[in-house]
Amino acid sequence: MGNPDEKPDPIISDDEIEEDEEDDEEDLEEEEDDDELEDDSDGAPPKVRGNRETEVRAAKAKMDNLFRRMRTGAVPLRVHNVIVKGNTKTKEQLIEAELEAIRNASSMQEIIEAASVANFRLRELECFDSVNITLDAGPPELPGTTNVIVEVVETKRPFTGQIGTYTKGEAKSSTVEGSLKYKNLFGYGDMWDGTLAYGFDRSAEVSAGVYFPRFEGLVTPVMVRVSMLSQDWLKFSSYKEQSLGLSLGLFSSKRHDLAYNFAWRTLTDPSQMSSMSIRRQLGHNLLSSLKYTFKFDKRNSTVRPTRGHAFVSTTQVSGLSPDSRSLRFLRQEFDFRYAVPFGFYHAALNFGVSSGVLVPLGRGFLSMSSSLPERFFLGGNLSPVCTLGGPAALWGFKTRGMGPTESRRQMRGNSNDENADPTGVDFLGGDLAVSAFADLSFDFPLKFFKEKGIHGHLFACAGNIAKLTENEYRNLSLPKFLESFRSSVGAGIVLPTNLFRLEVNYCYIMKKFDHDNGKNGFQISISGP
């Protein structure tokens, strides 16, 4: 037993122990600070580590508190000033126009979001090698404000050149195109370019243009382009087309585009063996039209979509000139795509439906003849998966390989066309076109193919063209139109490259007519990357 006279030990709580330990630590830190002050014999300013640590802790606490407030609600903050640095050639008003949303922001969250969008848009101008946007504290006398600092580094190489393979609905084929561009000549983000293109359908185009993303306070980009186009359709339709044109972009946004097109076109027949319908179209004509395009594309890829959908509507109205040779017509196109993933071997099913109609404008329009270059043609070496915009491509059929035809005249003795076929026909195109396709793409099990993006696909497609004008609509009915659909199926390998997408396909024609230019066998399709 213990001595009853001895008093029991007092009970010390954990809190008191922690407080004693904290006191000991503070005493130790004070002793260390005193030692440091005593050892400072060089006359240098004393190092107050405790104060620095306190400031760091306070700053960290403020940041943590700010992040908590940003997560729970809006943090009020106004922009006091926007400071632009680094622009020596680019107009400051061009940069500030992209920062308008930042000036109007009223909270920290809105400023950060607007700064992210502005950074992306400034990079899209292709005038800068780098863009940095930072926030700094506003004047002390104006609490709750910030200064936005935009630092840009202008590009050191205004000249750029490129070459590639592209798809153009106007040419109904792929083209090899080379271009030279000069950026920001006048400091408005303007892009000047010259382009030379050659198509696999023996077409050639030389063009030059300028693009202003923002000019003198305009809210939409401005585009002006002059072009010279030559297309050789002697093999298919017994005529050549030459065109000198001007295109003016009036309005452009993410989903909407409005442009005015003016062109002087000439159709000639050097072979002197074109059919009667083609001869009626020869000569000069004037194109003066407005073209409106509505487009949205929610697919995850334009080359190999595996999910998402897309839709394009194009409306063209021509005849805005009082000249009697001005072409007057209405052309409407629709295109819808949908991609469904399967979840194995990166497989996906793509299907699409395209349609288009061309109608002359004027009294008795259905008895008139439509413009030959504006008509619809199906076929060519394009892939329907990549040609978004309207009916154009059909696997297994050659360029202008199907639709209404008319026999050519017999060869004349003075013909200078060595490639002319006196027993052939002219493909006339149509005023109404409908096409549809389904494409199942999948990866190969080999690792090498997966790394290179090489994959296989199975496909099926169908399409038809009909003539409506010159009273031909009287001979057309829905059952007859459906019965005359051409169709094909096949399989192939897709090899994507930096310049183009190459398809090597085996096509089997399910249905065609006597004059259709399509056959079973291997076919190579080339589309833009």
Q: Rounded to two decimals, what is the model's pTM?
A: 0.75
Q: Give CA–CA dist 301/344, Å, rounded.
A: 18
Q: Give CA–CA dist 66/177, Å, rounded.
A: 53
Residues 296 and 170 in one domain: yes
Residue 37 domain-assigned (yes or no):
no
Q: How confident is the model at residue 418 (pLDDT cuts 50, 70, 90)?
A: very low
Q: Give CA–CA dist 303/83, Å, rounded.
A: 41
DSSP bridge partners of 465 = 433
Dihedral sign (CA 84, 89, 91, 97): negative
Residue 4 domain-assigned (yes or no):
no
Q: What is the pLDDT of residue 69?
A: 63
Residue 22 domain-assigned (yes or no):
no
CA distances from 111 to 76, 100, 125, 135, 398 (A): 10, 11, 21, 9, 55
Domain limit, last residue, from 103, 126, 154: 154
Q: What is the pLDDT of residue 106?
A: 82
Q: How confident is the model at residue 411 (pLDDT cuts 50, 70, 90)?
A: low
Residues 195 and 105 in one domain: no
Q: Which domain holds residue 106?
A: 70-154
Provide DSSP, 225-238: EEEEEEEE-HHHHS
| pLDDT average, residue stretch 354-383 | 89
Q: Give CA–CA dist 500/283, Å, rounded.
A: 36
Residues 274 and 347 in one domain: yes
Q: How confident is the model at residue 268 (pLDDT cuts 50, 70, 90)?
A: very high
Residues 234 and 108 in one domain: no
Domain limit, last residue, from 128, 154, 180: 154
| pLDDT average, residue stretch 155-167 | 76
Residues 326 and 339 in one domain: yes
Residues 222 and 286 in one domain: yes
Average pLDDT along the chain: 82
Cβ within 8 Å of residue 228, ≥6 positions away: 205, 206, 207, 242, 243, 244
pLDDT tens-digit profile of 30-63? 444 444 444 444 444 555 556 777 877 777 776 6
Residues 180 and 292 in one domain: yes
CB 275 within 8 A of CB 406: yes
| pLDDT average, residue stretch 405-430 | 69
Domain limit, last residue, from 100, 128, 154: 154
CB 341 within 8 A of CB 327: no
Residues 204 and 91 in one domain: no
Q: What is the pLDDT of residue 250?
A: 87
Residue 493 domain-assigned (yes or no):
yes
Residues 504 and 358 in one domain: yes
Q: What is the pLDDT of residue 2?
A: 43
pLDDT tens-digit profile of 67-97? 666 666 677 888 888 888 888 888 888 888 8
Give the up-direction half-sphere exposure of residue 293: CA atoms within 13 A in the CB hemisphere. 19
How does 381-406 read in b/e, with b if 16+ C-beta sit within 10 Å? bbbbbbbbbbbbbbbbbbbbbbbbbb
Q: Is the pLDDT score of 343 beyond 60?
A: yes
Residues 484 and 351 in one domain: yes
The single-letter code of the amino acid at 138 is G
Task: Look at 38-47, 150-159, 315-324, 494-503 and tell me which has the smallest mean pLDDT.
Answer: 38-47
DSSP bridge partners of 288 = 262
Q: How confident is the model at residue 7 (pLDDT cuts 50, 70, 90)?
A: very low
Residue 64 domain-assigned (yes or no):
no
Q: What is the pLDDT of residue 254?
A: 84
Looking at the structure of the chain, the number of domains it has is 2
Which helix or strand (DSSP H or E) is residue 32 part of?
A: helix 14-39
CA distances from 106 to 74, 77, 137, 146, 507 (A): 9, 5, 15, 11, 60
The encoded tokens of residue 236 equal: 């298919």
Give the up-direction half-sphere exposure of residue 261: CA atoms within 13 A in the CB hemisphere. 21
Residues 341 and 315 in one domain: yes
Which helix or strand (DSSP H or E) is residue 277 part of?
A: helix 276-279
Scanning 419-494, the segments in alpha helix (DSSP H) are 447-452, 478-483
* 8-state DSSP, 306: -
Residues 323 and 432 in one domain: yes
Residue 61 domain-assigned (yes or no):
no
Nearest to 158 by CA among 133, 179, 117, 129: 129
Length of the chain: 529
CATH of residue 149: 3.10.20.310
Q: How confident is the model at residue 66 (pLDDT cuts 50, 70, 90)?
A: low
Percent of the chain residues past pLDDT 70, beyond the cut: 81
Q: What is the pLDDT of residue 200?
A: 65
Residue 53 domain-assigned (yes or no):
no
CATH of residue 233: 2.40.160.50
CA distances from 222 to 216, 439, 455 (A): 10, 38, 40
Percent of the chain residues past pLDDT 90, beyond the cut: 36
pLDDT tens-digit profile of 202-234? 678 899 999 888 766 666 788 899 999 998 888
Scanning 421-522, the segments in alpha helix (DSSP H) are 447-452, 478-483
Residue 16 domain-assigned (yes or no):
no
DSSP bridge partners of 314 = 293, 333
pLDDT tens-digit profile of 136-160? 888 888 888 888 888 888 888 888 8
How does 446-483 read in b/e, with b if 16+ C-beta sit within 10 Å? eeeeeeeebbbbebbbbbbbbbbbeebeeeeeeeeeee
Q: How confident is the model at residue 337 (pLDDT cuts 50, 70, 90)?
A: very high
The encoded tokens of residue 73 equal: 């609600």
